[in-house]
Structure 1
Amino acid sequence: MDSTFNPPASETDAITDLRSAIARLEKRSGHIRSTNHPVDPHAELAGVYKRIGAGGTVMRPTRKGPAMIFETVKGYPGSRVLVGLMADRQRVAHMLDCKAEDLAQHMGRAVEKAIPPVEITGDAPCQEVVHLASDPGFDLRRLLPAPTNTEQDAGPYFCLGLLLGSDPDEGHSDVTIHRLCVQGRDELSVFFAPGRHIDAFREKAEARGEALPVTINMGLDPAILIGACFEAPTTPFGFDELAVAGGLRGRPVELVRAKAVDQRSIARAEIVIEGEILPNVRVREDQNTNTGHAMPEFPGYDGPANPSLPVIKVKAVTMRHGAILQTLVGPGEEHTSLAGIPTEASIYNACERALPGFVKNVYAHTAGGGKLLAVLQVHQRSAGDQGKARQAAIIALGVYREVKNVIIVDEDVDLFDSDDVLWAMQTRYQGDIDTIFLPGVTGHVLDPSQSPDYNASIPGKGITCKTIFDCTYPWKMKKHFERAPFRDVDPTPFAPDLFPKA
C-alpha cells in the first residue's frame, strides 16, 4: 500500500461518521472487505481477524490486513460487526487526509487548533431506534453481539466504547476508551487505569453517594476515536478531547441529549449505551465465568481478571437503523494506531517547543502497543546536538508517562522500519556509554514486568525502569557513518506491478 499524499476530502467525500469512513475505504483497494459467512462472536470472530489483519503484539501467525465487516453474526439476526478499521497506518492517514509519515505532525496541529463540540436539538441518527432497560424483554446480552476475544476471557467485551462523562462539580466533560465487560442484562463492569479523568469524576460523585451518568458511544468517525486517546499533559484535566476531532475535521463534533440519563451522546454514533456508574458498588470481572482472566490487552497478554470493578447500570440503548458494532482485537495494530499516533503527536509537539526543528519525527512502535516504545528521529547539526538528542528522549518520557523505552536514531534511519532501527542499534550504539537508565518511574500497570514480583527493587505495580537507547552517531565521527550512496532511480518502468501509480 502506498503512502502518497491524500488531498483534503471534497464535500462529497467528507467523513462525518463511521459510514462515510467505510464508504471512502471501499473506493481504495485492499483496505476493507465484508463477509456473509456466519461467525460466532464468542472467540471465533477475533480468531478469524487475528489471522487476517490484527497485527501488532498478537501472537504469530498474524498480519496487517484489511478491516472486516462481519455481516452474519450467529445469534444476532441483522447485526453487523466491524473490526480493524484503524489497524493500518496507511488506512488511518487516508481517513485523516494526510501522509502516513506525517500523522504525528497532523495530529499535533489538530490539538493546537481544537474546536469544541456543540450540542444539537431534535432528531439525531444515534437515536433512530431506542431500547429502554425498563422494558421487560430488555437484555444487553441478546441485543448487541459483544465479542469474547479468547476462550478464557472474563466475558463478552465492548472494546471500542467511548465513555463520555462529566465532572459533577465543574461540569466539563471527558471521553476515554475503557474495557467494558457485559455482566448481566443491564450491567457492565468498567476498568479504569490509574489517572483516568472519568474515574476522577466517578470518585467525586461516589463521595457524595451519587451515581455518575455516562454514555458509551460506539461506531464513530475515526477522528473522534483517535482524538480521544490523547492524555495529560497534552490534554490536561478539563480538556475535552472531542475538540481534537473538531480540529482534525475543521468542524465541531455534534452531541445530543441522551434519552434516559442526564448526559450527552455523540449524535452520529452507530450505537449508544446510556447508563450510570453506581456509587459504592463493585463486581469481580470474571464473576460469570471464573476464568481468572480478563481479556487480551495491548502488551499482548491476557491479564488477570480484576477482583473489584465499578458497575455501570444500563438505562437504555439507542442506535441507528442497521447499526454497526465496532470492535478491535485488543493487542492488535489498531491499538497502536489509536494510542500510538496521539502519543507521537504529544511528544513531537513538546520537543518542537523545547528544541525547534531538532526532532524530525516520532513513532510509537507497535511492539509497545503504541505506548511502551518510542522511536525519535533527530537531525544533528553540530557537536552540541548530541546532548539535545538525549534531552529530547527525556522530554518524551516526561510528556507521556506510559512510555517505557526510547530509541533515538539519526535522520538517515527510517524510524518506521524496525530492521533499519535495529541496524542503527548494531552499528551506532555501545551499551555501556549509550544507555541511560531512569529507575523507579511511573509506567503502566498492564505491563507484567512492571511489578515487584519481576524485580524486587520495584516498589509497586506499574512502576518501572525507563531506558534511553542513544543510537545516533557521534558528531565528530560523522563521516565514518555515511550510508552507501545508491543512485535514486524510478523503478516503475522495470516493475510496474510492484509500484503502481497513485
Structure 2
Amino acid sequence: MNQINDLRSALDLLKTMENQFIETDIEIDPMNELAGLYRKIGAGGTVMRPTKEGPAAVFNRIKGYPEARIAIGLLASRKRVGYLLNCQPEKLGFLLKNAVERPVRPITIPQAEALCQTLVYRADEHDFDLRKLIPASTNSIEDAGPYITLGMAYASNPITGESDVSIHRLCIQSKDEMTIFLQPGARHIGAFHELAEAKGQPLPISISIGVDPAIEVTACFEPPTTPIGYDELQIAGAIRNKPVELVQCLTINEKAIANAEYVIEGEILPKVRMREDINSNSGKAMPEFPGYCGPANPSLPVIKVKAVTTRKNPIMQTCIGPSEEHVSMAGIPTEASILQMVDKAMPGKLKNVYCASSGGGKYIAVLQFQKSVASDEGRHRQAALLAFSAFAELKHVFLVDEDVDCFDMNDVLWAMTTRFQADRDLILLPGIQCHPLDPSNDPVYNPLLKEHGNACKAIFDCTVPFNQKQRFERAKFQDVDPRHWFKEDDQ
C-alpha cells in the first residue's frame, strides 16, 4: 500500500482505486456552488436529500484563485477512511483505541525542510488579504461568510506548554481577522485561551489545512479519552508508526504541521469579541453536523492573522458540515472512546460500536454486546451508561446482540422492532447536558429542560433477555462462497 503522510499522497492512493476519486478542470465557484454540487454527488450524512455517498473530488480551477485547487469529501465514506488508514472499516474504532494507548510524540523539523513554508505572505505587507489567499468556501446561501472547515488548530497551554490540536468553526471576517467558535468546556484550546486571556495575553495559534487524513480523524478526540495535556497528534503518529512532523512558525511562538498545504499563523486576542455574521447579517453561521444551519454567535473570540504560508500550488481542503465526512471524523474517535471505556470495566463483552450517520457521528451510538452468561443480564445497560461517560455529547444509545450488524441501521431497526418493548426496554435519562446544536435540546421545545443544550438522553435496549435466547434465533442459511459462481466485481 502507498505510504500516506500528507494530503497529496492520500489523493494519489485514491486515484488508484475504483470509484473513490474524481476531478475536474471546469471552473467552480467556492461560494455556494462547490457545496451545492458535492451535496448531490458525494456528501451523504445528514445533508438534506437528495444526497449520497460518493467519491472524493478535486477541483483544479477555482474562481478567483488561479493558483489553488480544492479537495472535498476525502473522508466522506467509512470504506474510504479504511483505505486511507489501512484498516478494515468495521475495525476503525479498535485501530484508534489501540493508537491512543501507544502514542508517538510529534517531532520538529528545520524550517528549510518544511513544505508548508514554501511560499510566505506576511500580514504587514501592504497587499496582504486573507480573503484572496485562502479559497475558503460557503456551504449555503445563508452562511455568515467563507469558512475554514478543516483547519487543524494547534495551540499550547500558556502555563504548562502542553499542546493540543482540534478542529473549530473558523469564519474569515476581514483581510487579517477570523472568528473562532470555542464550545465552552469541550475543547482544550478554549481552556488555553481562557488562561491566556486571564493574564491579558494573546494565545498564539496555527491553523494547518490539507494534511494527512489520520491527523484529521484523531484531532476529533475529546476528554476523557484525551485529557487536557494530551496532544492528539500522538495518536496520528501511532497510526502511521511515524511521528507527525511539525515546524516552528515564522511570526508566532507556535508550531504547525510541516507538510500542510496552507498554514495560517495568528493570535487569539484577549478581551476581543466579534459577531459571527458581521458581514452577512444572516443570523446563521453555517450548516452543522445535525443537518441544520447553526445560529450565528453574537460574540466570538477573534484571531488576528500574522502570516499565511503555503506549499506550491496548494490544495485547499474543505467539507460540508453535515456530510458523512463529519460522521467519520467525529464518530470513529467516539467509537474508540466507548470501546476503551467499556473494555476497562467488562473486558471482551462489547464486540463493536458504530456512531451512526443519522446522528452525525455524535448523537447516536449502537453498541453490539455479547451476553454469554446469565450474570451479563443488565451489564449491557451498564455499558450504555459508560458510553455516555465516554462521550458527553451522545444522546441515544442502541444496544443490540452479537447477531445484529451494528453498522447496518436496517438490522438495528429490525432488532428494535422484534426485540424491543418501549414500556420495559426504553430507559430515559432526563436533564443531562448534551449538545447545543440540536434544536430540540432547548426549553422552548421541552419545558422540562432547564437550559439550552440539556437533553433527555435515552437507552434503547434491543437485546434478547439471556434466558430467552432460544426464542430469538435467526433463520440459519448454508454458508457458501459466491466466488464459485460470480466474480467479486459482479457481486
| TM, length-normalised to structure 2 | 0.98
Q: For the residues of structure 2 that align with 1:389 and 1:498, how far apart are their CA atoms?
A: 39
* Structure 1 runs (4+) greater than 4 angstroms displaced: 497-500
SS in 2 for 1:91: helix
CA distance in 1, matches of 2:134, 2:188: 27
Aligned-partner SS, 2:165: strand
Asked if 2 retains the 8 angstrom alpha-carbon contact of 1:35 and 1:70, the reply is yes
Is 1:441 aligned to 2:432, yes or no? yes
Does residue 251 of structure 2 align to residue 260 of structure 1? yes
- Cα deviation, 1:250-277, whole Å, max 9, x if unaligned, reads 1111111001111101111110000000
Tell me, yes or no, if the aligned pair for 1:51 and 1:63 is still in contact at 8 Å: yes
Match of 2:327 in 1: 336
Q: Do residues 379 (structure 1) and 370 (structure 2) align?
A: yes
Counterpart of 1:176 in structure 2 is: 166
Aligned Cα RMSD in Å?
1.0
Task: State the partner residue of 1:84.
Answer: 73
* Distance (whole Å) between structure 2 residues aligned to residue 176 and residue 497 of structure 1: 40
Map residues 274-353 of structure 1 onto 2, 5 A cutoff.
274-353=265-344
Q: Which runs of 5+ in 1 are unaligned?
A: 1-8
**Residue 193 of structure 1, CA deviation:** 1.2
The amino acid that maps onto 1:442 is Q
Deviation of the 1:334 alpha carbon: 0.2
Q: Name 1:429's counterpart in structure 2.
A: 420
Q: Aligned in 2, Cα 1:314/1:122: closer, same or farther, shift over 3 Å?
A: closer
C-alpha displacement of 1:498: 4.6
What are the Cα deviations for residues 21-60 of structure 1, in whole angstroms up to 9, with x where unaligned? 1111111111111111111111000000000100000000
Contact in 2 for aligned 1:256/1:264 (Cα 8 Å):
yes
Distance in structure 2 (CA, Å) of the matches to 1:386 and 1:112:
30
Q: Which amino acid aligns with 1:42?
A: M
Structure 1 equivalent of residue 230 of structure 2: 239
Alignment pair present for 1:144 and 2:144? no
**How much does 1:122 deviate?**
3.4
Contact 1:234–1:346 (CA under 8 A) maintained in structure 2? yes
Matched residue of 1:420: which SS?
helix
- Distance in 2 between residues matched to 1:494 and 1:39, nearest whole Å: 45
Deviation sequence 1:60-106 (CA, Å, 0-9, x none):
00000000001111111121000000000011011111111100111
The answer to whether the 8 A contact 1:193-1:445 is kept is no
CA distance in 1, matches of 2:155, 2:282: 31
Cα shift at 1:377:
0.3
Give the aligned residue type for 1:231: E
Q: CA contact under 8 A between 2:328 and 2:361: conserved in structure 1?
A: yes
- The correspondence for 1:132, drawn from 122, 126, 143, is 122
1:497–1:111 Cα change, 3 Å: closer
User: 2: distance between equivalents of 1:285 and 1:24?
Assistant: 38
Equivalent position SS for 1:466: strand
Q: Deviation of residue 120 (structure 1)?
A: 1.6
Would you say 1:249 and 2:258 are equivalent positions?
Answer: no
* Counterpart for residue 28 of structure 2: 39
> Partner amino acid for 1:103?
L
In structure 1, what is the equivalent of residue 355 of structure 2?
Answer: 364
- Residue aligned with 2:190, SS: helix
For 1:185, the equivalent position in structure 2 comes to 175
Residue aligned with 1:384, SS: helix
> Displacement of 1:117 after TM fit?
0.8
Q: Which amino acid aligns with 2:40?
A: R
1:282 is paired with a residue of what secondary structure? strand
State the AA in 1 paired with 2:473. Answer: E
Between the two proteins, the alignment pairs up a number of residues equal to: 489
Q: Distance in 2 between matches of 1:400 and 1:364?
A: 11
| 2:95 is the alignment partner of 1:109 | no
Alignment correspondent of 2:198: 207
Asked whether the equivalents of residues 111 and 248 of structure 2 are also in contact (C-alpha less than 8 Å), the reply is: no
C-alpha displacement of 1:456: 1.0
Q: 2:12 pairs with 18, 23, 31, which one?
A: 23
**Does 1:70 find its partner at 2:42?**
no
Q: Does 1:48 align with 2:37?
A: yes
Are the equivalent residues in 2 in contact too, given 1:116–1:246 (CA < 8 A)? Answer: yes
Indicate if the aligned counterparts of 2:40 and 2:51 stay in contact, CA closer than 8 A: yes
Partners of 1:25 and 1:31 within 8 A in 2: yes
Shift of 1:493: 4.1
After TM superposition, give the deviation of residue 499 of structure 1 in Å: 4.5
Distance 1:386 1:153 in 2: 49
Q: TM-score, normalised by structure 1?
A: 0.96
SS of 2:458's partner is: strand
Q: In 2, Cα distance between the equivalents of 1:386 and 1:325?
A: 51
SS in 2 for 1:484: coil
Q: Gapped runs of 5+ residues in structure 2?
A: none
Matched residue SS, 2:10? helix
What's the secondary structure of 1:433's corresponding residue? helix
Counterpart of 1:143, as a letter, is: L
Is the Cα contact below 8 Å between 1:491 and 1:499 reproduced in 2? no
1:492, distance to aligned residue in structure 2 (A) = 3.0
Offset at residue 169 of structure 1 (A): 0.6
Counterpart contact for 1:219–1:326, Cα < 8 Å: yes
**Distance in 2, Cα, partners of 1:497 & 1:15:** 27
Query: How far is 1:118 from its partner?
Result: 1.1
Once the 2 structures are TM-superposed, how far is the Cα of residue 497 of structure 1 from its aligned partner? 6.1
Name the CA distance, whole Å, in 2 between partners of 1:133 and 1:245.
31
- In structure 1, what residue type is equivalent to 2:352? N
Question: 1:412: which partner in 2?
Answer: 403
How far off is 1:488 after superposition?
1.6
Q: Which residue of 2 aligns with 1:5?
A: none
Residue identity in the other structure for 1:398:
S
Question: What do the CA deviations read for 1:387-407 (whole angstroms, capped 9, x no partner)?
Answer: 111011011011110100000
Q: For each residue in 1:322-379, what CA deviation from the matched residue of structure 2 results, as whole angstroms up to 9, or x when unmatched? A: 1100000000000000000000001011111111110000001111110000000011
**Shift, 1:475, TM fit:** 1.2
Q: Which amino acid in the other structure matches residue 131 of structure 2?
A: R
CA contact (8 A) 1:443 1:464 kept: yes
* Counterpart in the other structure of 1:467: 458
Partner of 1:492, secondary structure, is: helix
- Matched to 1:477, the amino acid is Q
